[in-house]
Amino acid sequence: MSTVLEYDPKPAHASPAPVAAPPVREKGILGAGYRGTTLGVVLVITLMGFEAMSVGTVMPVIARDLDGLALYAWGFSATLIAGLPANVLAGTWADRSGPARPLLAGVATFVLGLVIAGAAPGMWTFVAGRAVQGLGTGIALVATYVLIARVYPERLHPRVFAALSAAWVLPTLIGPTLGGVLTEQVGWRFVFLGLIPLVIPPTAMLIPAMRGLGTSGEGQDGGRDDGRDGGQGVSGASRGPRAGRHLAAVTAAVGTAVLLYGLDRPGWAILPIAAAGLAGLGVGLPRLLPPGTLRMRRGLPSVVLARGLLAGAFFGTDVFIPLALTSLHDFTPTQAGVALMVASLGWSAASQIQGRSQRPRDFYARLGAVLILIGTVTTTVALHVEGWLATPTWIIGGVGMGFAYGSLSVLLLSLSPKDEQGANSSALQIADSLGSSLVIGVAGALAMAFGTDHLGLGLGVAGTVVASIAALGVLAAFRLRPASAGERS
């Protein structure tokens, strides 16, 4: 028997072939190191969202109970106006010392506002409580944006903002309806006072993540992970700290309040008051927004402008839906809450879609802007035909906000240098607050201009104006990409 020797090309002393390591799974927003921060942020936003969703349902009852129907729009506008100086304070504060202190101060101020509003003996006290809530929310939201920028890498920003929109799912599902039920069974005051003990635990969850976050230090995973400085292609949009921004914010807030107050005055008295309000806005606003925002300059300025216009159009419609349903169609607060609950689910669903998609953010911002325009127009018509028709039509508006809102947030951070994340985040919140407060105030004045006996006519005129604001938002949404070198020249 012969032995066959096979040639083995591997030397006897060779090491075994290395075994490929299993692929490392990329950390998500609920991975180690991010879980506590994500849960804390989501829960805090959920509770603030519950208050925001509930107050729309119960505001008609509050206004009638406190004999303040004439101040109906101020129940919303006071919160938004107070947010203007709060946004600027939070932006410079967070850029200077990190997001921890402003975030904690904002939550504490929000709780104080809940106490004042929930215990208000009259409508003006209630409006004051809502203003304090606006201060707290304005500070907390800007600080939250900076916290996200410092803790999470840029690749996770779309998912974080999708999670923030998901934080509105529970308030959307139960907020309007539960607000109506609590109002009917317990009283509207519990909508505010009942939130107070729930805010503290999730705020405490954020403290470990906020330790050691400096002015522009890296996050747990290095902050931006693609090597860009965030300011490329934003010629003229980036800006350093500006002297007098706090004074400008106060001037703009006072100008907004004076303008809205003037819109409530009858006859010729409106002219000098409105002129003074516009002057305050003209002096203060240019210092608060990126250069070129009011001219719809491409890039970061149009991101901020689009956010303000679209927020104004959406909330300018949303806050008057319960009033129309209860006044024109005899809905109960609970029924009005159900209508809003079903309609606003579109926001959360669309936000999840855009957060997981690989499409460019400006695509979803444009798509969302168009849907918001369609939603405002069709809902205005539906409210004059049949109350329940407003539910499917306003789903369209909610889907639009779900696509646009988070996408614009991601675009803003991607276009912001690290040392301007707070200032630019505050500009975005200012656009939100100013756009919403002005549109709600103007719409409220138009809705009441024909008297309560002709509320339907007033709401129709107001809806037409709001749709025009949405159309401007569509134009701004098509100018989100920074201008190329050829276009700038």
Query: What is the per-residue pLDDT for 358?
Result: 83
Query: What is the per-residue pLDDT for 212?
Result: 60
What pTM did the predictor assign? 0.67
Q: Does the structure show a pLDDT above 70 at 301?
A: yes
Q: Does the structure show a pLDDT above 90 at 310?
A: yes
Q: Does the structure show a pLDDT above 90 at 85?
A: no
Q: Does the structure show a pLDDT above 80 at 59?
A: yes
Alpha-carbon dihedral of residues 439, 397, 459, 269, nearest 10 degrees? Answer: 0
Q: Does the structure show a pLDDT above 50 at 36?
A: yes
- Torsional sign, CA 306, 312, 318, 321: negative
Q: How confident is residue 166, by pLDDT bands cut at 50, 70 and 90? A: low
Q: How confident is residue 343, by pLDDT bands cut at 50, 70 and 90? A: low
Q: How confident is residue 363, by pLDDT bands cut at 50, 70 and 90? A: very high
Query: What is the per-residue pLDDT for 3?
Result: 41
* More reliable by pLDDT, 274 or 233: 274
Helix (H) or strand (E) run with residue 87 in it: helix 74-97
pLDDT > 90: percent of the chain:
19
Structure tokens at 418: 């690290």
Residues 6+ apart with CB under 8 A from 123: 62, 63, 66, 67, 68, 71
Select from 143, 59, 161, 139 the least CA-distant residue to 94: 143
Query: What is the per-residue pLDDT for 384?
Result: 84
Mean pLDDT of the chain: 79
Give the C-alpha separation, 411 to 481, whole Å.
9
**The most confident of 11-20, 177-186, 306-315, 336-345, by mean pLDDT:** 306-315
Query: What is the per-residue pLDDT for 224?
Result: 38
Quick one: how many helices (H) and strands (E) in the chain? 19, 0
Residue type, 204: A
pLDDT > 70: percent of the chain:
81
* More reliable by pLDDT, 334 or 141: 141
**Lowest model confidence (mean pLDDT) among 18-22, 68-72, 119-123:** 18-22
**The most confident of 98-102, 183-187, 299-303, by mean pLDDT:** 299-303
Inter-residue contact 256 to 78 (CB < 8 Å): no
Q: Does the structure show a pLDDT above 60 at 225?
A: no
Tens digit of each residue's pLDDT (9 = 90 or more) over 188-222: 888 898 888 888 888 888 877 777 665 444 444 44
Select from 340, 382, 448, 257 the least CA-distant residue to 57: 340
Select from 121, 133, 122, 131 the least CA-distant residue to 68: 122
Q: How far apart are the first and last CA of the chain?
A: 89
Tens digit of each residue's pLDDT (9 = 90 or more) over 237-288: 334 444 477 788 888 888 888 888 877 766 666 778 888 888 988 888 888 8
Q: How confident is residue 26, by pLDDT bands cut at 50, 70 and 90? A: low
Inter-residue contact 181 to 334 (CB < 8 Å): yes
Q: Does the structure show a pLDDT above 50 at 230?
A: no
Q: Does the structure show a pLDDT above 50 at 154?
A: yes
Structure tokens at 123: 């409508």
Q: How confident is residue 366, by pLDDT bands cut at 50, 70 and 90? A: very high
**Lowest model confidence (mean pLDDT) among 339-343, 395-399, 436-440, 465-469:** 339-343
Query: What is the per-residue pLDDT for 245?
Result: 76
- With b meaning 16 or more CB within 10 Å and e meaning fewer, what string describes 201-225? ebbebbeebbeebeebeebbbebbe
DSSP classification of residue 241 = -
Q: Does the structure show a pLDDT above 50 at 2?
A: no
Query: What is the per-residue pLDDT for 5?
Result: 41
* More reliable by pLDDT, 315 or 228: 315
Q: Does the structure show a pLDDT above 90 at 371?
A: yes
Tens digit of each residue's pLDDT (9 = 90 or more) over 271-284: 788 888 889 888 88
**Lowest model confidence (mean pLDDT) among 56-60, 115-119, 297-301:** 56-60
What burial class does residue 108 get, using C-beta atoms within 10 Å of its C-beta: 0-12 exposed, 13-18 middle, 19+ buried?
Answer: middle
Give the C-alpha separation, 54 to 182, whole Å.
10
